[in-house]
Every structure is written in structure tokens, then in C-alpha cells.
A = this chain, B = another copy of it.
């Protein structure tokens, strides 16, 4: 299937390059709007994009517009005439329409809102008031909702009226007189139940709902944890406003995990919807530079420590053979521990209340890792190193050198594991995003401590 699509995409690209409108149109018709959106994003030439848009009907464009990254929305939409823009906005669901309007400039948003019918405009303005990354900002209002005092037949009749305008009907929310969700019924309960029965008797209580002002990530986690088709969104008085659907939840989770991954790697800013290749070099630059500069200056402290220990290194220069290894081992173990803890927190398994248990686990783990690595390295220093006949100052044996390196390594690995696991927990306790304590920062911090540990141990154990 995937290969077929790839092949089709290639043919389409050629037809676009050849400006063959009828060929383009024919291929377009056979493709899903998600594929069209993917293809459109791969057209790096503006003329190609414009040609492609000219072949699209407003209806088809309305399907694929919500799939586009933020920075292509306005350019693409402005390709159409105002009357077509109205048609496009009316064809999208309310939550997609809000997303689209959030992606355009203030002037364009104002103009587009003016194209809508009065009631649509009002609804859209209301939805636009919610933060883009809140449950309210993500919800759709186009859901099935029925009052509780109906029979199944009455409910079916009511839903028949509105079904064209609903996004999902597989779960229907039952509300009381004040619009508060009382429960849900499945469409199949209505379709296959006794028509003269009462909704009241078949509804299942709503066990989960979320405030419109809550974070979209919380909503997505609830949908995922409780295997929901839709999650009711309510206002402060508990009145039903809309729902977050399972496909929105999936999109939110993908965005969030990309963001986590990038933070762990020390990339700042929001995950760009535009994707790697569509993001310009300057944007990539901005997202990477500040962290790098900060880390570079932090790394100079390692150099300072090394300068201070010049006499130690001078007397046993062979110490420099193992120095990068001891330091890097700390960075690696610290980075691993940090990543595991950050991910466990993102999945809701851990928070700063668990700090002591995490510390205890990582302490044992760090000791175990440190001791085993130390044994391997000591063995290498004692049994393999002499074969290379390196310059060794008088009075120092291979065993002494091996022991010194091994002890430093064990301390460094244990300390780094502990630091790597506790810093993200500390960040969470300090109300920071744990992922801001990115792995590179931990690496740099444990580099400095590693340098101190390495030379202090050598000075003590080699009697320098």
C-alpha cells in the first residue's frame, strides 16, 4: 500500500512539474487528503504549489487544509477568492476551523471571521478564546448530545436532525436540564434497543470529563488511559461545551512526545509542525544555538579544573589516556538515567514525590554499573596496557594506575547516575518542565564533577 502511494506521489510530482493539469487532477482524485497534504508540503517551489492549488476544488482543499503545518496555512488559503474561502471555512469542522484561524495573521483572521454566517462566527469567536493548547482549544462542539428525558425513538429522531453536523456519533452525551453531562449512550444502544424505552434507563455514567481550561496533554492522556472515543469538555459550572475526540488525542500525543524527545536533546522552542525538511536553516539555528552557547561556557569549567590539576597530569601523563573515558562514562550514565526519568514522568508514572525511591533505585544501579565498568577497565589497565610499554613514572605500578582509574570511574558513574535521575525530578518540583534539564546539560555538569573526581582520586591513590 505504502509503495503504491509512493509511486503515485512520484507520478504526481512529474505531472506538476510538467504543468499537466488534467493528469494532476486525475491522480488527486485517487488520493486521500492526508496524502495530498504530505505531497503539497514536499513541493518546495512556490510556483509548483500555486499550480497544485489551482487544480484543487475548494471542497477538496477544505479537507486537506487542516493537515497543513502552520506556516503554509495562510499562504495556501489566500490563494482562493473570498467566496471560495467562505465555502472552505464552512466545510471544515469547528475545531479545525479554529485551528486554521489560529494559524493566520490577525488581519486575515478578522477578515475570514467576517465571511462566516452570524451564528458560525459567534461560535468560532467563542472557541478562539480558549488557549490553543487547552482542552477547550482542541475540542469540537459538533458532537451528539441529547436531553435525558427522551425515549430511544425520540433520541433517534433528534439525532437524525443534527447528524449531518456531527463529527462523531458513536458516543452520544446525555445532559440534564442545565446541560451537565449525566452519561453516555452508544449509537448501537439506540439502534438496537427497544424504541419505547427511556434514555434514562440505558445511559452509562460519564466517568471522565475535563475542564475547558485544562491542558490538552491531560485530555489526551485521559483519552489514552481510559480508551475513550470522546472525552466531554465542561466549563467551571460543569456544563457540557464539547468533546476531545480520539483522533485529536492521538495528534496531541505525537506532538508532545516529539517535544519531549527534542527537549531531551537540548532543542528549545515548540516542536515545529512544519517538519524537519520544511523548517528553514535559521529556525533550526535558533532552536539549537542558545543551549549550545550556554553549555560551551559551562564546559570551560571542566577546562579550568584540568588547568588546576596540571601538576598531577604532568607527573603521570598516562592519566590522560583514561581521563576522557571516565568523564564520558559519567555523561552517558547520567544521560541514560535522566532520559528514563523524564520519560517516566511524561507517561505519568513518576513525580517528584517519588524522588527518594528513584534515588535509592538509581544509587544501587549506579553502584552496580560503576563497579562492573571499573572491573573491566582495571583489568584492561593491568593486563593489556603493559603490552604497549607506555611511559610510566618510576614508583607507580600498573596495578596502582588501574586501581586509581577504576575507583574514579566507579565514583563518577554512581554520582552521575544519581545526578541524572534527580535533576529532572528537582526541575519538576521547582515547577519547571523536567525536559529542560536536557541530557546535554547533565553531561556537561557531570563532566566537571568527573574531572574533579578523576584527578582527586589519582592524587590520593598514586601519592602525587
- Interface residue ranges, A against B (CB under 8 Å): 1-2, 32, 34, 156, 159-160, 163, 168-170, 186-188, 190-192, 207-210, 218, 222-227, 229, 246-247, 249-251, 253-254, 257-258, 260-262, 264-267, 275-277, 281, 284-285, 288-289, 291-293, 295-297, 299-300, 302-304, 306-307, 310, 313, 317-318, 320-325, 327-329, 331-333, 335-336, 338-341, 343-344, 347, 349-350, 354, 357-358, 361, 364-365, 368-369, 372-373, 376-377, 380, 390, 409, 413, 439-440, 443-444, 447, 451
Closest to A157 in B: B192
- In Å, the complex CA distance between A291 and B333 comes to 10
Residues of B within 8 A of A2 (CB): 218
- Which residues of chain B are near A338, meaning CB under 8 Å? 265
- Establish whether residues A277 and B344, one from each chain, have CB atoms under 8 Å apart when the complex forms: yes
* Closest A-B pairs by Cβ, 5 of them: A170-B170, A265-B339, A302-B324, A276-B344, A303-B321
Q: Which residues of B contact A369 (CB under 8 A)?
A: 285, 288-289, 292
Sampled A-B contacts (20; CB under 8 Å): A34-B225, A34-B227, A163-B192, A246-B246, A250-B253, A258-B347, A265-B336, A265-B340, A267-B339, A275-B347, A276-B341, A277-B349, A277-B361, A292-B332, A295-B329, A296-B329, A296-B409, A300-B325, A307-B317, A443-B443
Chain B residues positioned under 8 Å from A333 (CB to CB): 288, 292
Closest approach, in angstroms, between the C-beta of A112 and any C-beta of chain B?
24
Contact present for B302 and A328 (CB under 8 Å)? yes
In the bound complex, how far is the Cα of B134 from the Cα of A162, in angstroms? 39
Report the bound CA distance from A414 to B376 in whole Å: 34
Distance in Å from the Cβ of A124 to the closest Cβ of chain B? Answer: 21
Known: A300-B321, A320-B303, A328-B299. A226 touches B32 (CB 8 A): yes
Q: Are B276 and A443 in contact (CB under 8 A)?
A: no
Question: Contact between A295 and B328 (Cβ–Cβ < 8 Å)?
Answer: yes
Q: Please, which residues of chain B bring their CB within 8 A of the CB of A163?
A: 188, 192
A218 — which chain B residues lie within 8 A by C-beta?
Answer: 2
- Cross-chain contact A354 with B277 (CB below 8 angstroms): yes
The distance from the CB of A416 to the nearest CB of chain B, in whole angstroms, is 11
Report B-chain residues with C-beta under 8 Å of the C-beta of A380: 297, 300
Contact A264 B262 (CB under 8 A): no
Q: In the complex the two chains form, is B339's CB within 8 Å of A208's CB? A: no
Q: Which residues of the partner chain B approach A358 to less than 8 Å between Cβ atoms?
A: 276-277
Residues of B within 8 Å of A336, CB to CB, are 265-267, 288, 291-292, 440
B277 touches A357 (CB 8 A): yes
Chain B: minimal CB distance from A340 (Å):
6
Q: Is the CB of A289 within 8 A of B372?
A: yes
Q: A32-B208, A284-B365 are in contact. List 10 more A-B contacts (CB 8 A).
A: A1-B209, A159-B188, A168-B170, A246-B250, A264-B264, A296-B328, A303-B320, A306-B320, A328-B447, A439-B439
The reply to whether B335 and A266 contact each other, CB–CB distance below 8 Å, is yes
Contacting residues, chain B, for A297 (C-beta < 8 A): 325, 380
Whole-angstrom CA separation of A364 from B159 in the bound complex: 57
Across the interface, which residues of B come within 8 angstroms of A1, CB to CB? Answer: 208-210, 222
Bound together, the chains give a CA A254 to CA B317 distance in angstroms of 49
A231 CB to closest chain B CB (Å) equals: 10
Tell me whether B275 and A349 are in contact (CB under 8 A): yes
Bound-complex Cα distance A320 to B324 (A): 13
Contact of A262 among B222, B258, B321, B340 (CB under 8 A): B340
User: A303's contact among B249, B296, B323, B409, by CB below 8 Å, is which?
Assistant: B323
Closest beta carbon of chain B to A402's beta carbon, Å: 13
- Report the bound CA distance from A332 to B266 in whole Å: 8
Contacts of A341 in B (CB 8 A): 276
Task: Give chain B nearest CB distance to A43 CB in angstroms.
Answer: 14
User: Shortest distance in angstroms between A391's beta carbon and chain B's nearest beta carbon?
Assistant: 9
Q: Once the chains are docked, how many angstroms separate the CA of A292 from the CA of B331?
A: 10
Whether A349 touches B276, Cβ cut-off 8 Å, given contacts A257-B261, A265-B340, is yes
Return A349 CB to nearest CB of chain B, in Å. 5
Give the contacting residue for A322; candidates B229, B253, B300; CB below 8 A: B300
Q: Are B293 and A447 in contact (CB under 8 A)?
A: no
| Other-chain residue from B264, B295, B377 in contact with A265 (beta carbon distance below 8 A) | B264
What is the chain B residue whose CB lies nearest that of A385?
B300
Q: Cβ of A357: which chain B residues have Cβ within 8 Å of it?
A: 277
Q: Which residue of B lies closest to A306 (CB)?
A: B320
